[in-house]
Amino acid sequence: MSVLVLGGAGYIGSHTVDRLVDQGQDVVVVDSLVTGHRAAINDKAKFYQGDLADQDFMRKVFTENPEIDAVIHFAAYSLVAESMKKPLKYFDNNTAGMIKLLEVMNEFDIKNIVFSSTAATYGIPEKMPIMESDPQDPINPYGESKLMMEKIMRWADEAYGTKFVALRYFNVAGAKPDGSIGEDHGPETHLIPIVLQVAQGKRDKLQIFGDDYNTPDGTNVRDYVHPFDLADAHILAVDYLRKGNESNAFNLGSSTGFSNLEIVEAARKVTGKEIPAEIAPRRGGDPDSLIASSDKAREILGWKPQFDNIERIIETAWAWHSSHPNGYDDK
């Protein structure tokens, strides 16, 4: 048995490959390296560079690795703001890519897929915390592209018996505690790495996008989860499918929300730096608050997140950014 990790050179994918290798599992990685980093992939994993929508390439990967029985799919574009400006890029890469992938998985009779979905599929939630059974009505093309992928998998299950687990993550932050792998996006758009770049003096100040949201301090509230814990959830989901369980969807979050202002405060405490910040206009596509109920993942998958403290999460991110001021280019 072997796991194929699509997008294994990316932020969450690389942490998952690392955890799989740690557990002694056989891992094959496919990544186009458009946004991922070769240096992020654990050396013990077998690596192929290419695009999962290239069916001949994927046929070669499956033919050369007949022991693959499960796929973990991280290989999607994931920036809300970019998706508002370039929706077709998201529907093409994310949604159409899923169709191409399922076709080839079907040809090779591979029936298990664990998929990185997102809290953005819920749109503007009616209540908090969000449950898996709540309505999914995205307010940005990124969330819509992933909801479409979930629906495509549902019908593929119905027709071909391809079993899936959709993991709907909330906001991800932090790095491997030893500082060897972490977050490196170019350009960086996410709150916590930007806050830390300000702390490092790489940016003058933080812009907080909007303070007139319907939240206690007016800034967006998000639920942060560590990639180490996300990696464990993916591995548990592979086990769940290998045991012959039915397709399912799980939220992955910490069940606690922090406002953007609270994140800046926590980062000031961790780094001891001033971190100048100003209020800027809304970015577009941001729901007021997103907080997960993760009870279902805990009960059914047996998921036990270890990083349940935001300062600890920021500390691990700070260790990575401090030791890699230029990301993987420092390796």
Q: Site for ligand UDP (CB under 6 A): which residue of 12, 41, 76, 80?
A: 80
- Radius of gyration for the chain, computed over Cα atoms and rounded to the nearest angstrom: 19
Query: Is residue 324 close enough to count as binding ligand UDP by CB under 6 A?
Result: no
- The 254-273 site mask, x for binding ligand UDP (CB under 6 A), equals ------x-------------
* 27, 76, 104, 208: residue in contact with ligand UDP (rule CB under 6 A): 208
Q: Which stretch binds ligand UDP (CB under 6 A): 46-54, 185-193, 297-305, 320-328?
A: 185-193
Instruction: Name which position in 125, 286, 314, 316 contacts ligand UDP (CB under 6 A).
Output: 286
207 touches ligand UDP by CB under 6 A: yes
Which lies closer to ligand UDP via its Cβ, residue 276 or residue 302? 276
Residue 222 near ligand UDP by CB under 6 A: yes
Nearer to ligand UDP, 209 or 250 (CB): 209
Residue 195: which of 181, 178, 209, 176 has the closest Cα? 209
d(CA 223, CA 192): 12
The footprint of ligand UDP on this chain (CB under 6 A) covers a number of residues equal to: 15
> Per CB under 6 A, which region of 19-27, 28-36, 157-165, 200-208 contacts ligand UDP?
200-208
User: Which CB atom, from 162 or from 259, has the smaller least distance to ligand UDP?
Assistant: 259
Among 189, 214, 306, 322, binds ligand UDP (CB under 6 A): 189
Which of residues 52 and 206 has its CB atom nearest to ligand UDP in the complex? 206
Q: Considering only the stretches 47-55, 106-114, 204-212, 226-234, report the one whose residues sit in contact with ligand UDP under the rule CB under 6 A.
A: 204-212
Residue in the structure block whose two tokens are 């959709």 = 166
As a whole number of angstroms, the distance between CA 262 and CA 276 comes to 14
Binders in 227-246 for ligand UDP, by CB under 6 A: none
Q: Count other Cβ atoms within 10 Å, centred on residue 205.
A: 12
What is the spatial distance between Cα 116 and Cα 300, in angstroms, rounded to a whole number?
Answer: 18
Residues labelled as active-site residues: 142
Residues near ligand UDP (CB under 6 A) are 80, 171, 189-191, 194, 206-209, 220, 222, 260, 283, 286
